[in-house]
Amino acid sequence: MCKVLRHEEFEEGCKATCNGPYDGKWSKTMVGFGPEDDHFVAELTYNYGVGEYRLGNDFLGLTLQSSRAISNARRLGWPLSEVGEGVYLAEAPGGYRFYLLDEEQPQKDPVQKVSLAVSDLQCSTHYWSTLLGMQVLERSSEKKSVLLAFTDSQCKLELCDVGGPVDHGTAFGRIAFSCPREQLPEIEALMKKENQKILTPLVSLDTPGKATVEVVILADPDGHEICFVGDEAFRQLSAMDPNGNALLDKAMEADKSNEWFAKHNKQKASA
């Protein structure tokens, strides 16, 4: 079962733009099927003053192996469309796509892959495999895609050539990996040497009451943001919080931003 792993509140924008280029109060909620050490986890970011975001074509979806998820969607009346044999498409609030495989949910992480759009498959494959060190597991000339991973046991990354520019909209998502802290300066130095874009050089980020982590944030040839975080401190920060659900419920109950905007006859900004 997917569950809330931790919830954190911040009074001002992140200096590494973890909440996008937005100032002001924000929160993040980590959700997944198990601990962040060995599961893919989604970070849900909420900017209190933003009412909606414009989606681009950059994030193509998550693929999840779970007949149970399909059954749950049908039971709740959530719209499903069959897009292949035993493959169903569901859209989360905001339009994010989930592809559900009608197979028994595995004991390990059921999240099979994350799919990103690229404009030049050869260039992007070189970046992610040669520079970042991911293994190429599959190539599909029919789908114009490449499947990569750091290890076979991880959630996979699928790069799909969309035959044109990649539009990131205004939601500003990113993908993150943990690695030994000692590798962070090496990653930054390699990207400088190769004249690749570094969005945030090595920096420390504080979380109130929790561990301080160090990160380097890059951008691939299409502007997909990639965060590498020091593993040692991240393991402390990412420990599952048994109070995560309660903290999220409390924050949602305390959030009166919609009422404030309605009272003043205003609408939240559209990013």
Q: Compute the distance between CA of residue 219 and CA of residue 152 in angstroms, rounded to an integer.
A: 24
Rounded to whole angstroms, the maximal C-alpha distance in the chain is 55
∠ Cα 94 96 102 (to 5°): 135
For position 180, what pLDDT does the model report?
Answer: 95
- From first CA to last CA, the distance across the chain in angstroms is 32
**Helix (DSSP H) and strand (DSSP E) numbers for the chain:** 6, 17
Residue 38: C-alpha distances to residues 26, 108, 180, 239 (Å):
27, 9, 15, 12
Of 155, 181, 173, 175, residue with least CA distance to 236: 181
Name residues of the chain where pLDDT drops below 50. none
Provide the b/e sequence for 130-150 (b: ≥16 CB within 10 Å): ebbebeeeeeeeeeebbbbbe
pLDDT (0 to 100) of residue 94: 86
What is the reported pLDDT for 193? 97
Read off the pLDDT of residues 88-138 as tens digits, 9 standing for 90 and up. 999 998 899 999 999 999 989 999 999 999 999 999 999 999 999 999 999
Count CB atoms within 10 A of the CB of residue 24.
13
Gap between the Cα atoms of 160 and 198, Å rounded: 23
Torsion of CA 189, 190, 194, 197, to 10 degrees: -70
User: Residue 180 corresponds to which amino acid?
Assistant: P
pLDDT computed for residue 266 by the predictor: 63
Residue-level pLDDT at 210: 81
**Looking at residue 37, what is its pLDDT?**
87
